[in-house]
Structure 1
């Protein structure tokens, strides 16, 4: 139980750090005319090309795009595109309003409406990569990047992403149902741990004096180094790498092998789950390796671009496992959702939206948890009547979308009702 709680805390801190990157990236894109023009150029071939050529291309694709029936270029309908904007909007609302990553709901949402797990993963990775490239603020953050740490970390993350993509493709080629069951199981574990901790954090905050007013609150992470980082840094296993020289007298040193192992784990999780890896980099760097928060932020931005880019293109796009229509729709929706969510925090109590975040993550957990029996039954691991699994699937899907929809309507409604107040604050 203690391990599960600590794991949830680990994911929660990482989710918050990744949300800060999402918000910063969204603001960078929306405040630049050039970046908005790039977004428009990305959308044109998706919308026009998908409409004109989809019927001719789907089903007649070359084998090198997947070996089986490849998905790319993905079929386009306006209904699919609008639905993807809705998914991105909800994820963006959670990110901007709560300050914790809303990307956890994307893959469950896509799988709930029938998108294959491997396609949901590849699409989410491509959406993160497109956002990272367009909103890159590396030129502003170069002072916070330890190039040596970043390059060594990427050795591991590229290796992990290669293995993760290979695992997903092998399972899909063997049996698409096994592939879905595997991805669903990973999400059940992750969302269960994250949701449980978020709920406990919410209940604890309610009892605290003042009722937990801030949505994004929390102390500065990484100001002190725990026992685990100290132990790892005391192990002199060459080659050693130095970092944080400008922040700590004499700097700190750690074995490159620990960085490579950490990168491998991050890349593996990113390629299997389709989440970019950013939500794991922060807690690993700060709580495991003992890297300062400032260095971690810059290095995290750096690794997301390369890890998500290599995973999405090298492990999924060339095999046909990316739904570009969905990816671009999610990008548009998330950019809008993040802005509305961030503004809403000025007129909504933090404790309330923290409660909604816990419910949203647990809704994703329930959704995937209710879907798991049908997946396991389909591959013969357990025996459950199809009627029962169908009912469980339906319950999980409705619960998930009802909770997410209530949250979205509440946040947007709060935003609209307080537009005059928000304008007054800006003035």
Structure 2
């Protein structure tokens, strides 16, 4: 049995029918922006391996940091113990985040960081005598992970977890912000979508612990970009009703939108922020839930007196070392200029897709490029073409999109955009 035959017979891949997994590429090694198949064929990783390898694969600084840490201390429990990698990474994160977000809870993955944020919100409300505040509000089109509570705030109709909506906690879903990024802001609450939030909080505010959403860019829920003005209005409404606001920046954090965090466009500070993916430059799974002293100390005043969560691999030193190196590259590098160049080039090169008959929209923000189709895209076609085009794309729903590493060259950006336009055109 060949390795690929064993894979097809025994390994279960994400979002895949085990009886018909579709085309599969056996990747032998990675380097920079490239994935190398076992036969030597190389493909540009236009997905940044699910949006996390912002500095490219096997970046020497991150690899070296992990190797040194591996020889010194790969892991130690975080209960009652601490270590310098966790402390140094925390110092870097606090210096990067908006003032006031300075209590860091390290997690295993982005989905877990959402679970942690939701537990924080509920325990905080209980500590303040608001035991009825155990529900959550969110907006349509969102995606927050695959774990159980996180699924309950993903879009229950059009999202990836609609199948489970009868088994999940019932949450409150609002219309997605109605004014797209790039359009003129409309102050009217009905036309911009804030009126729905205002009405919900008037009616159900005593039941809602927090509003959770992805700021500016909705990722796996549809690659929808919206105006930051909505976030400012939402924060004001939530504050008035003692509802916390949680920003899920797992996909957008650490420069993906052209700014360090998507919330930088809005100029507001959430009560809790979820971070992951690019935190380690995509070299090892890691995440963090960061909150304010108000929330952290409030939880300390709860009946339990402690926050009731503690992953085994919390603050894993190996992951912390990778995170220190990754954030160091953002501190010392010219990532912002590179992302701006990627944005300008993709804007120009994806523009012709607007005239194609099957295309509904084309949009670009930072190192995110999207061709939205009128009909659902078959990802299998992109997978089959990848060795020929030399570009690894993974479309979903109606979207052909890319999120390349920031180190991608202009020539490789052109290869990515050409592959996207060709797929939208239906070539081959």
TM-score of the aligned structures, taking structure 1 as reference length: 0.30
Greater relative contact order structure (CA < 8 Å, 6+ sep): 1
In terms of fraction of residues, the more strand-rich structure is: 2
TM-score of the aligned structures, taking structure 2 as reference length: 0.30
